[in-house]
């Protein structure tokens, strides 16, 4: 039986006032985002599942997705279907992608699986987890270009890169939703 987690999402609105104007800032925090991993999502029976989609691209094409001068937070996750920590963290990334869909936060998933396993492994995984913004490198040699972003990277995955404008951090290993929420909150302040 497939287990999908129920994620209840609450948005906290913070107000800061000054003499001249009132500024409203909406964002999620780890305190405002509550989820229960023991319950399953009850999907509507009439809602059809979208066909999984993967875009095959070069490293440079994926880098063009980032608007360096914008105030959008980009979270790029390099993963593979054969990597247990990657598979474990994907549901939390998907939950956060949904939770932050109305905010200036964009999730990008880059599969490091071999391209010849796309139909047999990657597409079924992407479909099962209802992932979007999924990319796969056109050739294995593109993977080495990740070192442009993370010079000391030795190939370990999962690798998560969070960036906004000129700010960027990378994290190797599985990341929890709480950790990502904290980091996203930090980047909202930058």
Structural domains for the chain: 51-188 (3.40.30.10)
pLDDT in tens, 26-71: 445 544 554 443 333 333 334 455 678 999 999 999 998 887 778 9
Angle, in degrees to the nearest 10, between helices 177-188 and 84-99: 50
Distances (CA, A) of 76 to 10, 19, 88, 149: 24, 39, 16, 11
Per-position DSSP letters for 141-167, written without gaps between them: GGGGGGGGT-TT--S-S-EEEEEETTE
Q: What is the pTM assigned to this prediction?
A: 0.76
d(CA 123, CA 132): 11
Q: Which two tokens stand for residue 124?
A: 């079924």
């Amino acid at each position: 039986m497939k287990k999908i987690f129920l994620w209840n999402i609450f948005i906290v609105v913070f107000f800061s006032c000054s003499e001249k104007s009132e500024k409203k800032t909406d964002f999620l925090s780890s305190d405002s985002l509550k989820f229960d991993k023991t319950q399953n999502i009850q999907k509507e029976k009439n809602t059809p599942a979208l066909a999984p989609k993967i875009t095959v691209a070069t490293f440079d094409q994926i880098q063009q997705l980032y608007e360096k001068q914008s105030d959008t937070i980009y979270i790029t996750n390099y993963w593979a279907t054969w990597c247990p920590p990657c598979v474990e963290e994907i549901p939390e990334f998907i939950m956060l992608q949904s939770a932050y869909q109305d905010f200036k936060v964009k999730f990008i998933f880059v599969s490091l699986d071999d391209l010849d396993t796309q139909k047999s492994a990657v597409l079924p995984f992407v479909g099962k987890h209802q992932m979007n913004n999924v990319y796969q490198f056109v050739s294995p040699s593109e993977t080495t270009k990740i070192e442009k972003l993370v010079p000391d990277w030795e190939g370990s995955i999962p690798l998560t890169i969070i960036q906004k404008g000129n700010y960027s951090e990378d994290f190797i290993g599985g990341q929890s939703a709480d950790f990502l929420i904290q980091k996203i909150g930090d980047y909202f302040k930058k």
